[in-house]
Structure 1
Amino acid sequence: MEVKVVKSEEELQDAYKVRSVVFVEEQGVPEELEIDELEKEAIHFIGYDNGDSVAASRMRFVGGYAKMERICVLKSQRGKSFGKDILLFMEDKAKEKGIKKSKLNAQTQAEKFYQSLGYETISGEFMDAGIPHVTMTKSL
């Protein structure tokens, strides 16, 4: 998979499409919660496999952290390390900007995945868009 920082409107629409399929169609997140008022301040990422958009995410800088958000991979493409690839790419971009720590709100079903990449759970379980989450952090 080729991961890129979104640079064009077409790439941004590709990222939104992957996010919509995963979060809105698959997981039932309301569309108005998925695409929000924070999109303009975020750096967006898109992953392509053989020219097809298969993974997406965004990153914001909040309180000294790189906040990793909306990390997703199309269901048909899971199990190929694409989630790991896009997250490590995001971490590299954060480090290039001098950021030393990252944070994310993980769905509890993905907590072990993030732990395998060095993230530590720092919160109890909470609900976001009707889905149980925990907050996790990592030193970069």
Structure 2
Amino acid sequence: MKRPVVGMEGLRRPVPDETWDRYSARPVRSLDELQMAAAIRAAVFMSEQACPYEEEYDGNDLCGTHFLLFDGAEPVGTLRVRWFADFAKLERIALLPRERGRMGLRVLLAEMFELVARKGYRRMLGQIQARLWPVWSRTFKCRLLPGRGPFWFSDYEYREIEILVPEHPDALPMEADPYVIIRPEGAWDTPGVLDASADRAPGQDEAA
């Protein structure tokens, strides 16, 4: 499996080699995978933290990019990214209880940073539970946003952080190959089904 070299630069500490043999992470690309992400979030936020349904499923789940973390073939973690003009927003990080404190989180974040950087973003906004600032500040490169105080929702105190995204040497410009741009999210280096459809384009037989 190709490792997210650029994405790992966003982390405070490297991911051990053996971790990649156990864990993998990727963007959600099917309704089945979206249900996996929703199930993990329900277990963590609704069950453990008693978050109301309408606050957890907030109307943004069809507007962003979701990631899944797998321990072998089993989905064990998720997060969501939403996109704005000059920043991306990191949201809804959730790990099943047995995965907390393990290395899988770093795999999830590294793959997320790789995709965000490939899209050309250099910074992200995070809204984190205030009590978790020490954890996140040791996990990836970030800072508390100056001049921004705490705020509350779903019965928890939150703080805003700016997350630094490493620069990707192969960030995708608008002028990229059209077949690259229409490939599945995060799989821009692998020919997709629409690449093959080009063989049906008018004039291909004559060109051959």
Q: Normalised by the size of structure 2, how large is the TM-score?
A: 0.64
Distance 2:106 2:50 in 1: 24
Determine if the alignment matches structure 1 residue 137 to structure 2 residue 162. yes
Relative to its length, the structure with more strand (as a share) is 1
Distance 1:107 1:6 in 2: 25
Cα distance change, pair 63–127 in 1 and its aligned pair in 2 (3 A):
farther
Question: 1:125 touches 1:133 (CA, 8 Å); kept in 2?
Answer: yes
Which of the pair has more CA radius of gyration?
Answer: 2
Matched residue, 1:119: 142
Distance 1:128 1:91 in 2: 26
> 38, 44, 63: which is aligned to 2:66?
44
Question: 1:72 touches 1:83 (CA, 8 Å); kept in 2?
Answer: no
Q: Normalised by the size of structure 1, how large is the TM-score?
A: 0.94
Q: Percent identity between the aligned chains?
A: 26
Deviation readout 1:63-112 (Å, 9 max, x if unpaired): 41110000111112111122232222211111100011011101122211
What are structure 2's unaligned runs of at least 5 residues? 1-22, 166-208
RMSD: 1.2
Determine if the alignment matches structure 1 residue 3 to structure 2 residue 25. yes
Q: How many residues align?
A: 140
Question: 1:91 touches 1:102 (CA, 8 Å); kept in 2?
Answer: no
Distance 2:98 2:38 in 1: 17
**RCO (CA 8 Å, sep 6+): is it higher in 1 or 2?**
2
Distance 2:104 2:153 in 1: 24
